[in-house]
Structure 1
């Protein structure tokens, strides 16, 4: 009888040992994200699992010109996968000398039952844009001395005309690592109107403004009279063109617009100048979204 119990005990221990050995040490993490773009040679994307409040990298990847991820399937520690509460996607520099996530947290999602829907509106990502809106007007205050010079089609300002003009943007306040930037689409491509974080102050640029002693109103915007980029002819008539607000990494990885373009307006060729205003509306195709699956 003792021999039988001993045999059964050894068998049970063997089964427990086998079960421990068979327990998976890794899990599969799969990404499906729409709206990402090639960041060039100076930046890349990196995924993170948040486990007990701490970030754990799931790996880096890039994106082709066609929007395809260089890698969408990753192996992660099974225990970390089981205990993760959130997934975060960041923009990281190349080379990246800091093992921690950058401040540029683009997408995030809360993990439940091995899945997370990714958006810009889940903390700690940068903000929700579903209800964003804006107004702008066409006028050239930096070319005016003793009154309107009758050339208001050459300037765009993000706000409501008045004395002084007031802000017309309704956008999330951005966290560290991000700034807004205005753009108009010229003959040769996008032309910046300047970067900004406050909606009721001047932006960081007046590179194309007029030569009169007028710094412009206390809102973001630009007149297009001087220093035309290659392929453009100034003054630039903005009627019939596209106006865009983007969210840019800070520091920025490229001179052109970043992939996140929450507000857009297409001006008609007969667009009225100030005091008329024009609406910026949410650009759903310019806001990335995605899904994470862990199994």
Structure 2
């Protein structure tokens, strides 16, 4: 009988100890708009900032909202901010990546989050481009190249006015040709050639073109397209891309876009307009 009492007492203490060590949890609900699915090697990850340090709230790939995550209640109540990042699906680093998509501060039980502060504010973005193919000696295919410069004064100057991006992001130009987006290259400086100026498979064989972002579509066309082409009627786009990039397709943020007029003149400055997605936003509720 004495042994039975000892065992029961031990079980009671064990249960009591387990109850004492349980961690209270609370729900965190994300209701975000504008996000697109990432490539198979990347995930979105939420973070709350507690005492200045990031605490993960979990990862997701489904971009249908609202979504709810169970997190530590004490940490959640103490959180000052929420941040959303793009992370490798297999991620050995426990800290957030440089590529952060949304952020906002909690006020009471809610944080209004957006991409303006953590990616860039594109409200004042503007763009100009010309049709030209300066990387070959053939003057018959000038409508097969697009360069983001303004030559209306007689001298070439930068055609893009864009904010400096936060770490983890780059700009990328695109020509959407018969429904297929074809990159002009990535860049961070509107006053310099893009990153693939010397290595582009599409450009001609006599040089890299002017010292501004752009591309000549003259050879090695992607499957389903033929180069040289005619960009009149195509859509020219500037997107904001994660770096490293999650996909060969344009990311959801597209601050500038323009359909090339059918009657556009070669070597003549053409103005762009606002793109379809200039910011991402949403609410985070605790």
TM-score normalized with structure 1 length: 0.83
How far does residue 74 in structure 1 lie from its aligned partner after superposition? 0.9
How far does residue 150 in structure 1 lie from its aligned partner after superposition? 4.6
- Per-residue CA distance 1:21-57 (angstroms, 9 max, x = gap): 9xx9322211111111111210000001111211111
- Cα distance in 1, alignment partners of residues 277 and 166 from structure 2: 22
**1:11 alignment counterpart:** none
- Per-residue CA distance 1:44-79 (angstroms, 9 max, x = gap): 00001111211111110112xxx425x710122222
Aligned to 2:224, which of 226, 231, 248?
231
- Cα distance in 1, alignment partners of residues 270 and 109 from structure 2: 44
Instruction: Tell me the SS of whatever aligns to 1:283.
Output: strand
Instruction: Tell me the SS of whatever aligns to 1:228.
Output: coil
- Cα distance in 2, alignment partners of residues 104 and 252 from structure 1: 10
Go from structure 1 to structure 2 and tell me whether the alpha carbon gap of 1:29 and 1:291 turns closer, same or farther (over 3 Å shift).
Answer: same
**2:176 alignment counterpart:** 185
Instruction: Tell me the SS of whatever aligns to 1:89.
Output: strand
Is the 8 Å Cα contact of residues 187 and 231 (structure 1) preserved in structure 2?
A: no
- Alignment RMSD, CA only? 2.0
- Cα distance in 2, alignment partners of residues 165 and 142 from structure 1: 16
- Cα distance in 2, alignment partners of residues 267 and 154 from structure 1: 12
- Per-residue CA distance 1:191-214 (angstroms, 9 max, x = gap): 000111111111122321112x23
How far does residue 235 in structure 1 lie from its aligned partner after superposition? 0.8
Aligned to 2:150, which of 157, 160, 169?
160
Is the 8 Å Cα contact of residues 141 and 228 (structure 2) preserved in structure 1?
A: no
**1:5 alignment counterpart:** none
**1:59 alignment counterpart:** 58
TM-score normalized with structure 2 length: 0.85
How far does residue 163 in structure 1 lie from its aligned partner after superposition? 6.6
**1:127 alignment counterpart:** 120
How far does residue 188 in structure 1 lie from its aligned partner after superposition? 5.3
Gaps of 5+ in 2: 1-19
How far does residue 129 in structure 1 lie from its aligned partner after superposition? 1.3
How far does residue 284 in structure 1 lie from its aligned partner after superposition? 4.4
Instruction: Tell me the SS of whatever aligns to 2:83.
Output: strand
Is the 8 Å Cα contact of residues 247 and 261 (structure 1) preserved in structure 2?
A: yes
- Matched ranges for 1:135-214 at <5 A: 135-144=128-137, 149-161=139-151, 165-187=156-178, 189-205=180-196, 206-211=200-205, 213-214=206-207
Q: How many residue pairs end up in the alignment?
A: 261
- Per-residue CA distance 1:86-110 (angstroms, 9 max, x = gap): 1100000011111100000011112
Aligned to 2:80, which of 76, 85, 105?
85
Aligned to 2:270, which of 267, 270, 278?
278
Instruction: Tell me the SS of whatever aligns to 1:202.
Output: coil
Gaps of 5+ in 1: 1-20
